Amino acid sequence: MKIARYDYASQFPDLDQLTERLRDMLTRGHYVLGEEVEAFESALAEYLGCEHAIGVNSGTDALILSMKALGIGPGDEVVTQANTFHATVLAILWTGATPVLVDADLDTMGIDLDALEGACGPRTKALLPVHLYGRPTAMARIQALADERGLLVVEDAAQAIGARHAGQRAGTFGAAGCFSFHPSKNLAAAGDGGAIVCASRELADELRITRSLGQAAANHHTHIGLNSKLDALQAVVLHSKLPHLDGWNQSRRELASMYREALADLPLAFQHDDPADEHAYHLFQVRVERRDALVEHLKARGVDATVRYPVPIHRQPAFADLPLAQGSFPVAERLCNELLTLPLRPNMPAEEVAYAADQVREFFSANG
């Protein structure tokens, strides 16, 4: 049996309708912004329950543009977590601000909320929690700290589109929420794409200008912007998939609980999942001491297990000259050494979960 991590072809339940819409768009010849992008932005804002959504070129650009528009730049510090995807931290650096890392919490695999306040100083301008692996961060304490200290909150929700915390969608708590539509993400474009969501009309207007070369009107450039627009073609793809997202995320949750049940008695740990929340299970992570041997065992048996982010942020060569490279983040390092990702795709047959779980079990019976 072969258990794959991705099945991109199965993500097009409305393929005929989609190709018709794409043909329309291609022959009409309107490729940049325009009605397709606007229609998707409105649908996304409505789905998330927020005021404004602005389509950009990638999740990374969503982070850079939103932080810049919020006035984050040189001299500022942005506090984020030590266990995240590289893009979170490089985006902070592109604004000119300094990233400050906080260690992870071993159970939630999110930012250590108890350590957050200690990382804030006189130059702290923003908190940047990451809803990692699709698990929504508990936002109340982050928001309370931000309010108390007059800090901004920007959410990296690239892995958590559709997740809910306390009934509210991840990405809609802070001043800005950033999403990615990279093909691997829960809502996937056929290429790169991203979006920023926010409640402020002013911020939304500014973002629409800065994503478009700072052009407020034809030949009138009011900002030093970027060229970072969501393609009309990707907007058509994303709009056609959006109605299926909740169903896909629900399927991910069901498959994740099947894994949890099937593996419950083994010496493994899972990411804490608050029953009051809705985890989007972008990745199903398992923490185990003999991680590398287990990955090898699974791969040899056709299960496409993998390791995401084996190198901690503070050990990446790109960041070697930054103060954070001297930091100590033992939980983030431990997660890098002990986490593996089991295959989980929406609508994956239950037999595939059972097979993958059996192979995990076999590893422990064969290796004591």
Ligand X SMILES: *Cc1c(COP(=O)(O)O)cnc(C)c1O
Task: List b or e across 107-116, with b for residues whose CB sees 16 or more CB atoms inside 10 angstroms.
Answer: ebbbbbbebb
Asked if 182 is part of the footprint of ligand X (rule: CB under 6 A), the reply reads yes
Instruction: Classify residue 346 by its DSSP letter.
Output: T
Asked if 211 is part of the footprint of ligand X (rule: CB under 6 A), the reply reads no
Residues of span 29-48 touching ligand X by CB under 6 A: none
Instruction: Classify residue 13 by its DSSP letter.
Output: T
Member of 78, 82, 87, 331 binding ligand X (CB under 6 A): 87
Asked if 235 is part of the footprint of ligand X (rule: CB under 6 A), the reply reads no
Asked if 158 is part of the footprint of ligand X (rule: CB under 6 A), the reply reads yes
Give the whole-angstrom CA distance, residue 326 versus residue 330: 12
For strands 98-102 and 77-81, give the pairing.
parallel
Asked if 271 is part of the footprint of ligand X (rule: CB under 6 A), the reply reads no
Q: Which two tokens stand for residue 87?
A: 């893009």
CB of residue 157 vs ligand X: minimum separation in angstroms? 8
Give the whole-angstrom CA distance, residue 47 versus residue 360: 37
Asked if 130 is part of the footprint of ligand X (rule: CB under 6 A), the reply reads yes
Neighbours of 217 (CB within 10 A): 8
Binding window for ligand X (CB under 6 A); candidates: 85-93, 198-206, 243-251, 345-353: 85-93
Asked if 95 is part of the footprint of ligand X (rule: CB under 6 A), the reply reads no
Site size with ligand X, rule: CB under 6 A: 15
Give the whole-angstrom CA distance, residue 323 versus residue 111: 19
User: Residue 88 is which amino acid?
Assistant: T
Asked if 156 is part of the footprint of ligand X (rule: CB under 6 A), the reply reads yes
Instruction: Answer positive or negative: Cα dihedral of 168, 170, 174, 180.
Output: negative
The 3-state DSSP class for residue 306 equals strand
Binding window for ligand X (CB under 6 A); candidates: 83-91, 296-304, 312-320, 356-364: 83-91
Asked if 59 is part of the footprint of ligand X (rule: CB under 6 A), the reply reads yes
Asked if 60 is part of the footprint of ligand X (rule: CB under 6 A), the reply reads yes
- CB closer to ligand X, 60 vs 212: 60
CB of residue 297 vs ligand X: minimum separation in angstroms? 27
Asked if 58 is part of the footprint of ligand X (rule: CB under 6 A), the reply reads yes
How far from each other are the two terminal CA atoms of the chain, in whole angstroms? 24
Q: Give the footprint of ligand X on this chain (CB under 6 A).
A: 58-60, 84-85, 87-88, 130, 156, 158-159, 180, 182, 192, 194
